[in-house]
Chain A
Amino acid sequence: MLSRIADSMYWMARYLERAGETARLMEINLLYLVEAEEDMGEVDKWRPILQINASEPLYVDQFGSGSLNTSRVLQFISAGRNNPSSIRTCLRLFRENARVARDRISKEMWEAVNEIWMGFNERLKGPLSAERAGALFVDLRNQVARFNGLVASTMMRGEAYAFYQLGGCFERADMTSRTLDVKYHIILPDLSMVGSALDYYQWAALLKSLSGFEAFRRNYHSGFMPADVAEFVVLNRAFPRSIVFSVKHMGGALEIIGLENKDATRSAFASVSAMVDKTSQQIFDDGLHEYLESLLAKLAQFHTALAEDFFQ
């Protein structure tokens, strides 16, 4: 298929995934604001979100430091036109890439793209209260799920589909790594605390933002042991938002695409893959933060190799 179309299918999936994951993160954080202890200020509650969204410097640039408050962050992350990672920007680029690949996606998918984009914009008219925002995030997540259902039920299982899957899984692995890294860092500033049962709400929020709360409870019965949470999120092969799950599915997509004469991609993927074949013991010996940092770097290298091999 056309290189440019492959590129668009890949990015289309990435932007949608990012928009959906960000909405989920925001939704949970809004709830968490209500649940968390009262002595925690707004700054502490929203900073991690800006970090995961990779837009903290931009925010500070725009509003100055120490100006973090709920309504401003809501607006910035949801609707910020000059925030390249805002949900609106992601959805705009999602639609733009869908337009480029318009002749490769099904009519049903295209109609859903328009519905998502126009519906979201419609609801950004008027001020975004926490209540309205919460409902908006829930609806967006549902629409994303519906869209991926349409992809599964209407799209030919060819190269275009494989690039879409690759982009979606890549973004999920990336988002999950960053979410875990930022949250883990905040919840556990001191490594000596690994192994103790900590703040229920914080861990619950992390798992809920990855849609993994219930599954985790069913698998682990000794409360929220940080090592258990990390193992679950990184290495559980059955949990669809775990890093290993995403990486294995990237591998499946690459098999359909075919890596003949694509040595850079092949070796970059091998080193990503090697990261999720480690045991939890190995990961904690090296340090979780170091592990996640190195994984993110390897994912970035993989993306570069992929772009060179396929999109140019």
Chain B
Amino acid sequence: MYNAGMPSSKPRTPYHEFYADDFTPRDHYRLLWDHIKATGNNALEAKAHESQLALQAEGVTFTVYGESEEGIERIWPFDLIPRIITAPEWTKIEAGLKQRVRALNLFLGDLYGDQKIIKDGVIPPELIYQGRDFRREIVGIVPPRGIYTHISGIDIIRDEQGEFLILEDNLRTPSGVSYMIENRVIERRILPEFFNKYRVRRVEHYPSLLLAALRSLSPRGKDTAEIVVLTPGIYNSAYFEHTFLAKEMGVELAEGRDMVTVNDIVYLKTTTGLQRIDVIYRRIDDDFLDPLVFRSDSSLGIAGVINAWRAGNVAIVNAPGSGIADDKAVYPYVPDIIRYYLGQQPILNNVPTYQMTNVKDREYVFDNMERMVIKAVSESGGYGMLMGPSSTPALRKEFVALVQENPRNYIAQPVVYLSRHVCYMDGELEARHLDLRPYVIYGDDIEVVPGGLTRVALRKGSLVVNSSQGGGSKDTWVLAE
């Protein structure tokens, strides 16, 4: 068992980001609080309404699957009250994320190379070989500059003591960065006066950082780099983001069927013929990337793209095979991975985690299911998850069976009561739980954009922040001093 303390040994009151106690806001929120009080409820209501209209007109939406043939497009839910992170808090988060991403990239290079970490007995081989996202097909290929995860979105939560913990690494196609920017744009437009009182660090340059990182990977040199954003299409839940990034970077937004490979070179089909592509920022999973190598029934990918990548004629971002490093079964080992490759102690800790392959852990989890979150290791977006406190006996029984059938496929964590923040809900200021997803770009160096996507569980008492499960978001302010 890794870092797992007794879940009941901790205080059960969630950390409050905004209030120091029942009556006083924390120091860094005081100016904001004074301003909100002075603004009054009517003005806030008008602003909330205005922000809704703006999001609607701009078509800032995400799609929820499976509700109808057209797919339900929802307006991005946005809360007015910003979440503030102080400079010292951010310094630690930033250092912790850089450390983690650096170590995970060394880990990936090792897994698809010499596999020293397995030979040295730090990671059990079956953990890797049974992982759905370990790609045997690409062992031995070294991606440009040895970088695998050019873009990472790391989920951070705050426990009851206010300590920042890593909840999840998203290293495949992390989404949400466009909402981080849209939130800022809206916040500044609707509440310009909020910004006068603080020195808030900027986040809107993210697309130019991304573009520079993508250009630096071009096999033909960065000055002639032809780049595309590869999208599964308009019905994908993150399609808004795909168009947003393509537009902001000024590159083509393409689908798999827009491209062909000829002699290991990838081309775009244009109205004037074929045009060579150097860098593909793909927003589809490995499984669908190349029907010749991975799932042969995929119509979303590009046949032959992996061979082109192997030949060094095209860069794929993030690199194929990155998913094994954010496998939830690998997650408990990340602190060891950091120690192994960097010889450092992790700056940010993991949430205590139980391995379902370990019999003792498993029994303990089964005995305490009401206090556990059980997660399928290869799922994301809040799918395939059991939230202990709100689960029914029938659902718990179902999960016991699922776990017993395939223990490698699940992990469990004691429910962490995510920190809370005030939100403006239908005319009232109410407390809601939230997390934070900062974005890390690995180009010439590792950079963390000062901010991130703060996701809010809009339902009272809920701990699930995913937008597909009724979550909302806030603008996130990292203070400059």
Chain A interfacial positions (CB closer than 8 Å to B): 1-4, 6, 92, 96, 99-100, 102-103, 107, 110-111, 113-115, 118, 159, 257-258, 310, 312
Contact pattern, B 421-446, Cβ under 8 Å of A = 1, otherwise 0: 00000000000000000000000000
Indicate which residue in A3, A92, A103, A110 contacts B258 across the interface (CB closer than 8 Å): A3
Indicate which residue in B252, B254, B268, B271 contacts A310 across the interface (CB closer than 8 Å): B271
CB-defined contacts of B59 to chain A, threshold 8 Å:
110-111, 113-114
Q: Is the CB of A111 within 8 A of B271?
A: no
> Which of B257, B258, B272 counts the most A-chain CB atoms under 10 A from its CB?
B272
Please name the residue on chain B nearest to A110 by beta carbon.
B59
Q: How far is the CB of A104 from chain B (nearest CB, A)?
A: 9
Chain B interfacial positions (CB closer than 8 Å to A): 56-59, 70, 233-234, 239, 243, 246-247, 252-255, 257-258, 268-272
Q: Is the CB of A115 within 8 A of B57?
A: yes
Complex alpha-carbon distance, A251 and B70, angstroms: 36
Q: Is the CB of B239 within 8 A of A99?
A: yes
Beyond A110-B58, A257-B271, is A2–B252 a contact (Cβ under 8 Å)? yes
Q: Is the CB of B57 within 8 A of A99?
A: no
Q: Is the CB of A103 within 8 A of B247?
A: yes
Q: Is the CB of A4 within 8 A of B243?
A: no
Beyond A102-B247, A103-B247, is A2–B270 a contact (Cβ under 8 Å)? yes
Q: How far is the CB of A108 from chain B (nearest CB, A)?
A: 10
Complex alpha-carbon distance, A6 and B271, angstroms: 7
Indicate which residue in A92, A103, A310, A312 contacts B246 across the interface (CB closer than 8 Å): A103
Interface residues of chain A: helix, strand, loop or mixed (majority): helix
Q: How far is the CB of B258 from chain A (nearest CB, A)?
A: 5
Q: How far is the CB of A180 from chain B (nearest CB, A)?
A: 32
Complex alpha-carbon distance, A2 and B243, angstroms: 14
Complex alpha-carbon distance, A114 and B76, angstroms: 14
CB-defined contacts of A115 to chain B, threshold 8 Å:
57
Complex alpha-carbon distance, A102 and B239, angstroms: 10
Complex alpha-carbon distance, A179 and B101, angstroms: 64
Please name the residue on chain B nearest to A4 by beta carbon.
B258
Complex alpha-carbon distance, A159 and B271, angstroms: 9
Beyond A99-B234, A99-B243, A111-B58, is A2–B272 a contact (Cβ under 8 Å)? no
CB-defined contacts of A110 to chain B, threshold 8 Å:
58-59
CB-defined contacts of B271 to chain A, threshold 8 Å:
1-3, 6, 159, 257, 310
Q: Is the CB of B239 within 8 A of A2?
A: no
Complex alpha-carbon distance, A103 and B271, angstroms: 17
CB-defined contacts of B234 to chain A, threshold 8 Å:
96, 99-100
Q: How far is the CB of A60 from chain B (nearest CB, A)?
A: 25
Complex alpha-carbon distance, A250 and B252, angstroms: 26
CB-defined contacts of B246 to chain A, threshold 8 Å:
103
Indicate which residue in A3, A96, A107, A258 contacts B269 across the interface (CB closer than 8 Å): A3
Beyond A1-B271, A111-B58: 9 further Cβ-contacts under 8 Å? A2-B271, A3-B258, A3-B271, A4-B258, A6-B271, A92-B70, A103-B247, A107-B58, A110-B58
Q: Is the CB of B269 within 8 A of A2?
A: yes
Complex alpha-carbon distance, A114 and B75, angstroms: 12
> Which of B253, B255, B268 counts the most A-chain CB atoms under 10 A from its CB?
B253
Q: How far is the CB of B436 from chain A (nearest CB, A)?
A: 28
Q: How far is the CB of A23 from chain B (nearest CB, A)?
A: 22
Q: How far is the CB of A210 from chain B (nearest CB, A)?
A: 32
Q: How far is the CB of B51 from chain A (nearest CB, A)?
A: 15
CB-defined contacts of A102 to chain B, threshold 8 Å:
243, 247, 253
Q: Can you list 26 A-B contacts with CB-CB less than 8 angstroms, sorted by A residue number?
A: A1-B270, A1-B271, A2-B252, A2-B258, A2-B268, A2-B269, A2-B271, A3-B270, A3-B271, A4-B254, A96-B234, A99-B234, A99-B239, A100-B234, A102-B247, A103-B243, A103-B246, A103-B247, A111-B57, A111-B58, A114-B56, A114-B58, A114-B59, A115-B57, A118-B56, A312-B269
Please name the residue on chain A nearest to B246 by beta carbon.
A103
> Which of B239, B258, B270 counts the most A-chain CB atoms under 10 A from its CB?
B270
Complex alpha-carbon distance, A310 and B240, angstroms: 26
Please list the 9 inter-chain residue pairs (A to B) with the smallest Cβ-Cβ separation, ordered nearest first.
A102-B243, A103-B246, A103-B247, A114-B59, A103-B253, A99-B234, A111-B57, A310-B271, A3-B269
Complex alpha-carbon distance, A2 and B16, angstroms: 50
Complex alpha-carbon distance, A258 and B268, angstroms: 19
Please name the residue on chain B nearest to A260 by beta carbon.
B272
CB-defined contacts of A96 to chain B, threshold 8 Å:
234
CB-defined contacts of B254 to chain A, threshold 8 Å:
2, 4
Complex alpha-carbon distance, A4 and B70, angstroms: 20
Q: How far is the CB of B378 from chain A (nearest CB, A)?
A: 29
Complex alpha-carbon distance, A110 and B59, angstroms: 8
Indicate which residue in A4, A103, A159 contacts B255 across the interface (CB closer than 8 Å): A4
CB-defined contacts of B269 to chain A, threshold 8 Å:
2-4, 312
CB-defined contacts of A3 to chain B, threshold 8 Å:
258, 269-271
> Which of A103, A110, A111 counts the most B-chain CB atoms under 10 A from its CB?
A103
CB-defined contacts of B268 to chain A, threshold 8 Å:
2
CB-defined contacts of A99 to chain B, threshold 8 Å:
234, 239, 243
Complex alpha-carbon distance, A6 and B258, angstroms: 12
Complex alpha-carbon distance, A92 and B246, angstroms: 23
CB-defined contacts of A258 to chain B, threshold 8 Å:
272
Q: How far is the CB of A268 from chain B (nearest CB, A)?
A: 16
Please name the residue on chain B nearest to A6 by beta carbon.
B271
Q: Is the CB of B243 within 8 A of A114?
A: no
Complex alpha-carbon distance, A4 and B254, angstroms: 8
CB-defined contacts of A92 to chain B, threshold 8 Å:
70
CB-defined contacts of A312 to chain B, threshold 8 Å:
269
CB-defined contacts of A159 to chain B, threshold 8 Å:
271
Q: How far is the CB of B281 from chain A (nearest CB, A)?
A: 13
Please name the residue on chain A nearest to B253 by beta carbon.
A103
Complex alpha-carbon distance, A189 and B178, angstroms: 60
CB-defined contacts of B258 to chain A, threshold 8 Å:
2-4
Complex alpha-carbon distance, A96 and B243, angstroms: 13
CB-defined contacts of A257 to chain B, threshold 8 Å:
271
Complex alpha-carbon distance, A100 and B253, angstroms: 9
Complex alpha-carbon distance, A281 and B272, angstroms: 41
Complex alpha-carbon distance, A100 and B247, angstroms: 12
Complex alpha-carbon distance, A236 and B247, angstroms: 41
Q: How far is the CB of B268 from chain A (nearest CB, A)?
A: 6
Please name the residue on chain B nearest to A98 by beta carbon.
B59
Complex alpha-carbon distance, A115 and B57, angstroms: 6
Complex alpha-carbon distance, A106 and B45, angstroms: 30
Please name the residue on chain A nearest to B57 by beta carbon.
A111
Please name the residue on chain A nearest to B257 by beta carbon.
A4
Q: How far is the CB of A289 from chain B (nearest CB, A)?
A: 36
Complex alpha-carbon distance, A74 and B32, angstroms: 53
Complex alpha-carbon distance, A92 and B234, angstroms: 13
CB-defined contacts of A114 to chain B, threshold 8 Å:
56-59
Complex alpha-carbon distance, A115 and B58, angstroms: 9
CB-defined contacts of B270 to chain A, threshold 8 Å:
1-3
Q: How far is the CB of A116 from chain B (nearest CB, A)?
A: 11
Complex alpha-carbon distance, A95 and B41, angstroms: 37
